[in-house]
């Protein structure tokens, strides 16, 4: 399982207990009256989840997606342990190799790579900002 990109992906897909806890607490804030009114209207459990809970939880799902993606971008310990060959290096391990040799002094290239690696996350955060902002003000106005 060492030096196999599939095993690394499998480890990263294991998820995080923090994300599960975050989503569970978010679902606890959803009013039970919404669920009860859907039951009275004749919705089954799957319909209640798809049509009521999932749209309401979209801001938290976006936040969990961004947290997971940022964690994968910055993860170094597992990638450095599991992946050994240079063609399979992740971003963090590859960038560390730029500056870790005995005579490695490519700090300019390292800084440029760090800036470019932050660009996709910045763009994605900008595109998903409306979901994050809507989650912040959800339920703040009664009526």
Alpha helices, DSSP H, located in 29-106 = 32-40, 45-48, 54-56, 58-74, 77-82, 91-99
The model's pTM:
0.74
Domain 5-137 has CATH 3.40.50.150: no
pLDDT tens track of the chain, all 143 residues? 888 888 888 888 777 788 888 888 888 888 888 889 999 999 999 999 999 889 888 888 888 888 888 888 778 888 888 888 888 888 888 888 888 877 677 888 889 988 999 999 999 999 988 887 776 555 544 54
Give how far Cα 38 sits from Cα of 27, 28, 33, 43, Å: 16, 17, 8, 5
What CA–CA distance (Å, rounded) separates 116 from 50? Answer: 37
């Amino acid at each position: 399982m060492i030096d196999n990109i599939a095993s690394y992906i499998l480890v990263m897909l294991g998820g995080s207990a923090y994300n599960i806890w975050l989503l569970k607490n978010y679902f606890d804030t959803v009013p039970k009256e919404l669920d009860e009114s859907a039951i009275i209207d004749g919705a089954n459990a799957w319909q209640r989840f798809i049509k009521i809970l999932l749209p309401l939880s979209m801001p938290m799902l976006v936040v969990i997606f961004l947290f997971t993606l940022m964690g994968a971008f910055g993860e170094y310990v597992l990638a450095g342990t599991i992946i050994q060959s240079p063609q399979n290096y992740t971003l963090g391990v590859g960038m560390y190799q730029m500056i870790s040799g005995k005579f490695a002094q490519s700090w300019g290239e390292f800084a440029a790579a760090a800036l470019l690696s932050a660009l996709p996350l910045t763009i994605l955060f900008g595109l998903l900002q409306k979901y994050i902002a809507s989650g912040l003000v959800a339920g703040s106005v009664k009526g």
